[in-house]
């Protein structure tokens, strides 16, 4: 526990926040200091580290529990930390996507893939995707697909034509 607390408070290996959060989570769960509540405490520590470093609170969904447990088990069996780190990174990314999601469109509008929206412009889907990643247009990411509204793309095109 002393080593875990030292890592938590001092980060001697200079891990990035998500790496540190995942490592502390795993280490605490492995130490298993309590009769009950070790998993909850591990997730609380994970979120403490993320929030201290400017990340939003991450929720590990119950539907994802098998994947979560599989990644922890992989670390137990092989010592391979990557599956668990990737799992925590994806959870963080999903939370950030939700947190940064633009306001829902009106009922008249709907989110369409940037590939569909690009067809009505002189811009490629790849370029619109770059704009979305840089926050230049409002867009959401569903899986691997960026989506936005026609209104958003039309406003961007109009803004560019006015320059």
Give the total residue count for the chain. Answer: 163
Catalytic (active-site) positions: 32
Phi, psi of 147 (to 5 degrees): -135, 150
Strand order in the sheet with 140-142: 112-113, 145-148, 140-142
Q: Which two tokens stand for residue 1?
A: 């526990």
User: Residue 55: left (phi > 0), alpha (psi -120 to 50), or beta?
Assistant: beta
Cα separation, 97 vs 54, in Å, equals 15
Cα separation, 83 vs 144, in Å, equals 19
Cα separation, 99 vs 94, in Å, equals 9
């Amino acid at each position: 526990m002393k080593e875990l607390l030292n890592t938590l408070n001092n980060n001697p290996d200079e891990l990035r926040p998500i790496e540190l959060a995942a490592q502390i989570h795993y280490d605490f769960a492995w130490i298993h200091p309590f009769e009950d509540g070790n998993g909850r405490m591990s997730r609380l520590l994970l979120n403490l580290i993320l929030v201290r470093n400017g990340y939003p609170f991450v929720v590990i969904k119950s539907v994802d529990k098998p994947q979560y447990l599989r990644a922890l088990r992989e670390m137990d069996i092989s010592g391979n930390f990557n599956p668990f780190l990737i799992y925590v990174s994806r959870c963080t990314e999903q939370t950030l996507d939700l947190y940064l999601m633009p306001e829902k469109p009106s009922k008249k509008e709907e989110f369409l893939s940037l590939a569909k929206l690009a067809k009505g412009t002189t811009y490629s889907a790849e370029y619109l995707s770059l704009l979305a990643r840089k926050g230049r247009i409002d867009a959401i990411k569903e899986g691997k697909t960026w989506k936005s509204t026609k209104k958003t793309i039309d406003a961007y095109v109009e803004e560019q034509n006015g320059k």
